[in-house]
């Protein structure tokens, strides 16, 4: 009863339906930050209140909202008590329900690792593979992505899909395909700058994209740096002797924009069933070889 007089604040907790233990809340962290800190695979994307991916239903407690959520959430959502987890700072202990809590894929804890860019390999005129050496093992499911930032360039982070399958037990070396976006914060440095040796911070893994268990044929379609998750996913499936029929369409403007073709051919040869690989070119001269 003297807490009020002595300024002692009551500990606040975050309870997520379907998650065993409540999470204690620190300072002014958002619901999303608290959940990710505990390794919960909470759906999220932009983290600035713009995409709605992190929406959740507040069933108990009160929150302060950092931005106006009515631009993103529908009137019906607001009526039902939905809030944006990335923009909601609990004022009291809260209980939420997350419609799309990521529980289907192998659950890997979200961690933050430090590392350096060990190597860059140019792939086309605007795409390069960067290989990052990490200070600790990192585990992910093929198809997932990580957020990468370069402290010397500021706090901005960008999301990149892992380009290779994750070895059993994790890996301390991860790679990404990065396409240069002119004027971009990170990609020009990663794709063409003197990035080797630069310190990086990696957070993840995130995302639900993965190969679902099934016997049905696989139609894979990729273009540009979007090859990364498909390459990782097929490489991973090939290593488990997957025999599902595959048709893989890889789109590019010209032959010069195709890359990793040999690696895809190697996956195709090791595949345990039918595998058709079709490069699709939109701007190749009609009379080219
Ligand atoms: Fe995009 Fe929260 S992650 S609105």
Phi-psi region of 83 (alpha: psi -120 to 50; beta: other; left: phi over 0): beta
Question: Which of 150, 206, 140, 208 is CA-nearest to residue 173?
Answer: 140
Instruction: Indicate if ligand 1 lies below 6 Å from the C-beta of 52.
Output: yes
Write out the H or E segment, with its range, that includes residue 102: none
Instruction: Report how far residue 176's alpha carbon sits from residue 155's, in angstroms, rounded to the nearest whole number.
Output: 19
Residue 7 has pLDDT above 90, yes or no: no
Residue 4 has pLDDT above 50, yes or no: no
Residue 181 has pLDDT above 80, yes or no: yes
Distance 43 CA to ligand 1 centre (A): 8
Instruction: Report how far residue 124's alpha carbon sits from residue 112's, in angstroms, rounded to the nearest whole number.
Output: 30
What is the tens place of the pLDDT at every residue in 231-281? 999 999 999 999 999 999 999 999 999 999 999 999 999 999 999 999 999
Lowest mean pLDDT among 32-46, 159-173, 273-287: 32-46
Instruction: Indicate if ligand 1 lies below 6 Å from the C-beta of 65.
Output: no
Instruction: Indicate if ligand 1 lies below 6 Å from the C-beta of 53.
Output: yes
Q: Mean pLDDT of all residues in the chain?
A: 91
Under 8 Å between Cβ of 31 and 90: yes
- Ligand 1: residue of 42, 49, 67 to mutate (most ligand atoms within 8 A of CB) is 49
Ligand 1 nearest-atom number relative to CA 50: 4
Q: What is the pLDDT of residue 134?
A: 97
Q: How many CB atoms lie within 10 A of CB 156?
A: 10
Instruction: Indicate if ligand 1 lies below 6 Å from the C-beta of 147.
Output: no
Q: What is the pLDDT of residue 155?
A: 84
Distance 27 CA to ligand 1 centre (A): 20
Instruction: Report how far residue 45's alpha carbon sits from residue 171's, in angstroms, rounded to the nearest whole number.
Output: 24
Under 8 Å between Cβ of 100 and 18: no
What is the tens place of the pLDDT at every residue in 120-154? 999 999 999 999 999 999 999 999 999 999 999 99
| Residues found in the chain | 289
Q: What is the pLDDT of residue 208?
A: 73
Instruction: Report how far residue 185's alpha carbon sits from residue 154's, in angstroms, rounded to the nearest whole number.
Output: 9
Lowest mean pLDDT among 40-44, 52-56, 169-173: 40-44
Q: Helices (DSSP H) in the chain: which residue ranges? A: 3-6, 31-37, 75-80, 187-192, 227-239, 261-270
Q: Beta strand 13-16 with 94-97: parallel, antiparallel or unpaired?
A: parallel
- Ligand 1: residue of 50, 77, 99, 207 to mutate (most ligand atoms within 8 A of CB) is 50
Vertex 120, ends 258 and 275: CA angle to 5°? 35
pTM given for the model: 0.72
Q: Beta strand 171-179 with 246-252: parallel, antiparallel or unpaired?
A: unpaired
Instruction: Indicate if ligand 1 lies below 6 Å from the C-beta of 51.
Output: yes
DSSP calls for 176-231: EEEE--TT-SSHHHHHHSS-TT-EEEEEEEE----PPS-SS-EEEEEEGGGHHHHH
């Amino acid at each position: 009863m003297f807490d009020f007089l002595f300024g002692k604040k009551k500990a606040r907790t975050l309870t997520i339906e379907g998650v065993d233990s409540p999470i204690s809340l620190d300072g002014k962290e958002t619901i999303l930050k608290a959940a990710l800190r505990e390794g919960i695979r909470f759906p999220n994307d932009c983290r600035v209140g713009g995409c709605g991916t992190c929406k959740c239903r507040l069933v108990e407690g009160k929150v302060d909202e950092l931005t106006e959520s009515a631009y993103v959430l529908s009137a019906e959502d607001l009526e039902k008590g939905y809030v944006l987890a990335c923009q909601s700072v609990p004022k009291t202990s809260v209980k939420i329900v997350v419609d799309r809590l990521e529980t289907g894929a192998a659950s890997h804890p979200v961690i933050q690792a430090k590392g350096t860019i060990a190597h860059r390999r140019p792939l086309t005129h605007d795409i390069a593979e960067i290989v990052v050496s990490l200070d600790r093992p990192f585990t992910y499911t093929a198809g997932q992505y990580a957020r990468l930032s370069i402290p010397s360039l500021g706090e901005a982070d960008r999301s990149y899909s892992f380009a290779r399958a994750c070895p059993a037990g994790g890996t301390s070396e991860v790679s990404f395909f990065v396409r240069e976006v002119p004027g971009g914060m990170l990609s020009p440095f990663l794709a063409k700058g003197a990035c080797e040796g630069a310190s990086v911070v990696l957070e993840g893994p995130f995302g639900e994209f993965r190969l679902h268990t099934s016997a049905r044929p696989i139609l894979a379609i990729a273009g540009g740096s979007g090859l990364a998750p498909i390459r990782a996913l097929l490489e991973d499936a090939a290593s488990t002797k997957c025999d599902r029929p595959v048709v893989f369409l890889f789109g590019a403007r010209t032959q010069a924009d195709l890359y990793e073709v040999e690696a895809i051919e190697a996956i195709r040869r090791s595949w345990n069933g039918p595998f058709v690989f079709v490069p699709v070119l939109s701007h190749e001269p009609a009379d080219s070889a």
